[in-house]
Amino acid sequence: MDQANIINKDVNIVAYYFKNNARHLRCFPKRMEWEGKRVDFTETGLVHPTQKGRRMIHVFDMTDGSADYRLEFDAQALSWTLVAITDTQYAPVSTQFAPSY
Amino acid sequence: MPRYLRNLQLPINPEQPQILHIDLNSCFATVEQQARPMLRGRPLGVTNRLTKNACVVAASYEAKAQGVKVGMSFSEAKLHCPDLIMVETDPPKYHYVYKKLVKIMRSYSPNIGMKSIDEGIIDFHDTRQNINQRPLAVIGHEIKQRLRDDVGCWMKCNVGIAPNRFLAKTAASLHKPDGLDIITYKNLRRTLEGMKLTDLTGIAERNQARLNAAGIYTPLQFLDAPSELLVRKVFGSICGEDWHKRLRGWEVDNMEFSTKTIGRQFVMDDYNASEEKVRNRLAHLCESTGLKLRYKGFCARGISIYVQYKTGDAWHSRKAFRSTFYTTPEIFRRALLLFNQHPRHDHIVMLSVSCYLLEPSTANQMSILEEVNKERLLTEAVDELNRLYGNYTVTFANSLGADKQIKQKIPFGTTRYFELLCNRA
């Protein structure tokens, strides 16, 4: 069973990276500082918007290669929240169904 | 249809395929793998609740390869696949992917239809010439690429192209995952040759038994069966004629169904719940039903309640009223009226509330009764507050705390309430 550790704390995003996706320049977190620790993200999973009442929240699912992080950016308060970390040890990866490019 | 016409064998539709069916592969599991790179390439199951008895609502291809099937309980799935990872559903993610898919589809034709969260149809009849002149296979590959560009590199989808909706869906299921197949009048027989009856959408065990009883054992025999036989012997209704046309590539599924009922059901979080707890859950279901009713601009005249007991017995009751209703207190009062009649011989494990006899809302019509107007104004004010701060911020006292137990999950089959359901507090 996959149990995420719920954190729900404000964090600092100290570095960003930009990507030109479908003619839109998009911004993603690159480095996070939290409780004296520094996390460098290696990959962005999915970025999707959601609503809390009328407030627009952008959810960033990120990974640093050893754990998955769920970050929320409040577009009104301009604040970052670390929602959860999942760092369970999983079984080896299978490449059988990986998409072919 | 006159008898002499029924005896005529309808030819296979010779039209060039103009229907493109898109099916996201193991949608929820693939989206979760897209969101969390650590899960990619690993057997993954998606469930509504992370408990032992919760069932798998979607499984990744890695899990399916090890025998995990949709509908299995978590403990059963774990027996087939000890490394299975289970995650809880996250509707906003699926909503986002759904919107992206709709946007991509709209860019090709205004005539699109979503069959469910992860399935859609593009009808290329009457589209602009510059799109229509390109081969649909090229457009199919382009859609696959755009999905990867817009959502993420792990997203895969099946594309099926055929002259009608049914054959397009059949084509989309031929080579999973990430396939693209075309069925035309030329290769229809060859395609059906390699299939079983139950591989056809809409043919499960019961329909298979009906067909077998009439001497039809393969899809090819089904295709060759005369309409008369299907109408009179196999299905005993007009469905037989629909199947006759459907298999030959003629369109019969181009229909929109109007909303007949609106409701909500819940499998109890506690199988030994007290009467008070059940009423609390009932109040929440009524609140949720009212929210959907008002969102769709309907009011109802009838309400029905369904209760299932621990023993497996079930009880249901329904009642139609003279006056229409749409506010939460009104729905709850009427639901309680029926609920109070249920036999109390065992604990309740499942509860369902639904409104029927739907009519366009009468919210703009003032009542001559002051009490009714007050209730309506209060409902409007509460709805406005919940729109601002998220659903169930201001809630019915009877349902206090229930929203923590009755979480909003994926609406299977319909995507009509997606926007409403994703507005969390």
pLDDT, position B32: 92
Using DSSP, state whether A65 is helix, strand or coil: coil
Phi and psi torsions of B421, nearest 5°: -75, -25
Q: Show contacts of B337-343: CB within 8 Å, 24+ apart.
A: B338/B303, B338/B304, B338/B305, B339/B279, B339/B282, B339/B305, B339/B307, B341/B317, B342/B305, B342/B307, B342/B315, B342/B317, B343/B315
Give the best residue of A1, A56, A72 to mutate against chain B (max B CB count within 10 A). Answer: A1
Separation CA B40–CA A47 (nearest Å)? 17
- Chain B positions touching A51 (Cβ under 8 A) are 390, 422-424
Using DSSP, state whether B283 is helix, strand or coil: helix
Residues of chain A numbered 5-64 and touching chain B (CB < 8 Å)? 21-22, 43, 45-46, 48-54, 59, 61, 63
Does A61 contact B36 at a Cβ distance shorter than 8 Å?
A: yes
What is the residue whose two structure tokens read 């990430």? B178
- Chain A positions touching B425 (Cβ under 8 A) are 52-53
Using DSSP, state whether B400 is helix, strand or coil: coil
Average pLDDT over every residue of A18-34: 81
Tell me how many degrees the CA angle A44-A71-B84 measures, rounded to the nearest 5: 70
Q: Which of B37, B152, B387 sits opposite A63 (nearest CB)?
A: B37
* Chain A to chain B Cβ contacts (< 8 Å): 108
Does A99 contact B148 at a Cβ distance shorter than 8 Å?
A: yes
Q: Which of B352, B251, B205, B206 is nearest to B18 (CA)?
A: B251
How many percent of chain A have pLDDT more than 70? Answer: 80
Separation CA B108–CA B120 (nearest Å)? 13
Beta carbons of B12 and B249 less than 8 angstroms apart: yes
Does B37 contact A88 at a Cβ distance shorter than 8 Å?
A: no
pLDDT, position B4: 46
A68-84 residue pLDDT tens: 899 999 988 899 999 99
pLDDT, position B370: 87
pLDDT 10s digit of each residue in chain B, 425 long? Answer: 455 445 557 788 888 899 999 998 788 999 999 999 888 888 999 988 777 777 888 999 889 989 898 888 888 888 898 888 888 888 888 888 988 998 999 888 888 888 888 889 999 988 877 676 788 999 999 999 999 888 888 898 999 999 999 999 999 999 888 889 999 999 999 999 989 999 999 999 999 999 999 899 999 999 998 888 899 888 988 899 999 999 999 998 888 778 889 998 888 877 888 888 889 999 999 998 998 899 888 999 999 999 999 888 999 999 999 989 999 999 999 999 999 999 987 889 889 999 999 999 877 778 888 888 888 899 999 989 988 887 788 888 888 777 776 766 665 556 666 656 655 54
Task: Report the chain A residue with the minimal C-alpha distance to residue B394.
Answer: A53
How far A58 CA sits from the closest chain B CA (Å)? 11
pLDDT, position B170: 93
Separation CA B49–CA B221 (nearest Å)? 44
Separation CA A61–CA A64 (nearest Å)? 11
Does A63 contact B38 at a Cβ distance shorter than 8 Å?
A: yes
Neighbouring-strand partners of residue A10: A81
Sheet holding B56-59, edge to edge: B56-59, B44-47, B85-88
Does B150 contact A49 at a Cβ distance shorter than 8 Å?
A: no
Separation CA B333–CA B329 (nearest Å)? 6
pLDDT, position B417: 64
Separation CA A26–CA B298 (nearest Å)? 40
Q: Which of A45, A53, A96 sits opposite B425 (nearest CB)?
A: A53
Task: Report the chain B residue with the minimal C-alpha distance to residue A87.
Answer: B38
How far A35 CA sits from the closest chain B CA (Å)? 23
Beta carbons of A86 and A77 less than 8 angstroms apart: no
Interface check for A76 against chain B (CB to CB < 8 A): the answer is no
Give B78-141 as a DSSP string: HHH-TT-EEEE--HHHHHHHHHHHHHHHHTT-S-EEEEETTEEEEE-TT--HHHHTS-HHHHHH
Q: Is the dihedral angle over the CA atoms B126, B128, B131, B132 positive or is it negative?
A: positive
Q: Which of B86, B388, B424 sits opposite A1 (nearest CB)?
A: B86
